[in-house]
Amino acid sequence: MPTIDLATASLRELNGMLHRLQRDTNETHWRVLNPRGQHAIAVGLDAPVLVEIEGHVGYYCAGMNQDAMVIINGNAGPGVAENMMSGQVHVKGDASQSAGATGQGGLLVIDGNAAARCGISMKGIDIVVKGSVGHLSAFMAQAGNLVVLGDAGEALGDSIYEAHLYVAGSVKSLGADCIEKPLEDHQRAELSRLLAAGGVNGGIDIGGFRRYGSARRLYHFHIDNIGSY
């Protein structure tokens, strides 16, 4: 198992080694020590490897991830898993704002809370937050799923397109064109799959979740909706 200590090695060296990995590499498990809140750790990975980061990270950790699994044993700064394409990112602590922003695929799991704009402009990513999310989460969310086991802040799903939002706790307010929708059987199955993928096993009442999505009133301009644009 390659172990890189960022107290002695540079971040550029770490990312360079990870970027040079071939898809058939036998160095499939990496460990990163002393991240000390540095930014852009393990960004742009495109090999099926496991990277475990022992501590807190700064901005954009695991951004643009493809195929890799990145585990953060600490908290994450803004933009964790930003523009993620595939693979999995698991934050064992809390995440700052814009977690999973513009993500196009893969799975982001946050064991703690996520701050404002979680899942902003998401385009296919699945996000499971075991705590609560802040205001404007799933703003302009186009596709994918956001599951929140705790509460959601103001303006959830503002200007949402076709993403699916599932919240077990309270929602402070819904954003423009976001409404509550029935939780039907196929959505229950989808929610069960997402919870299992996020490591939430047993003891969860699927019926306790509420589903939110687009009312589709803002897809085409209409003068009656001018105040919502």
Which range has the worst mean pLDDT, 22-26, 122-126, 200-204? Answer: 200-204
CATH label of the domain that carries residue 156: 2.160.20.60
Residue 86 counted as domain residue:
yes
Q: Is the pLDDT of residue 219 over 90?
A: no
According to DSSP, the residues that pair with 54 across neighbouring strands are 33
Residue 68 counted as domain residue:
yes
Residue 228 counted as domain residue:
no
Residue 225 counted as domain residue:
no
Please report, rounded to a whole number, the percentage of residues in the chain having pLDDT higher than 90. Answer: 90
pTM, full prediction:
0.94
Residue 223 counted as domain residue:
no
Q: What angle do CA 121, 124, 128 make, to 5 degrees?
A: 85
C-alpha distances out from residue 64 to 24, 78, 81, 100, 211, Å: 20, 14, 7, 10, 28
Give the pair of three-digit tokens for residue 77. 């700064």
Say what the pLDDT of residue 160 is: 96
Token pair 């498990």 is at which residue? 29
Say what the pLDDT of residue 204 is: 86
Token pair 């513009």 is at which residue? 102
Say what the pLDDT of residue 30 is: 98
pLDDT band at 17 (very low <50, low <70, confident <90, very high): very high
Residue 227 counted as domain residue:
no
Residue 229 counted as domain residue:
no
Total structural domains within the chain: 1
Domain that includes residue 161, residue range = 3-217
Which tens digits make up the pLDDT trace of 35-93?
Answer: 999 999 999 999 999 999 999 999 999 999 999 999 999 999 999 999 999 999 999 99
Which tens digits make up the pLDDT trace of 155-212?
Answer: 999 999 999 999 999 999 999 999 999 999 999 999 999 999 999 977 788 989 999 9
Residue 45 counted as domain residue:
yes
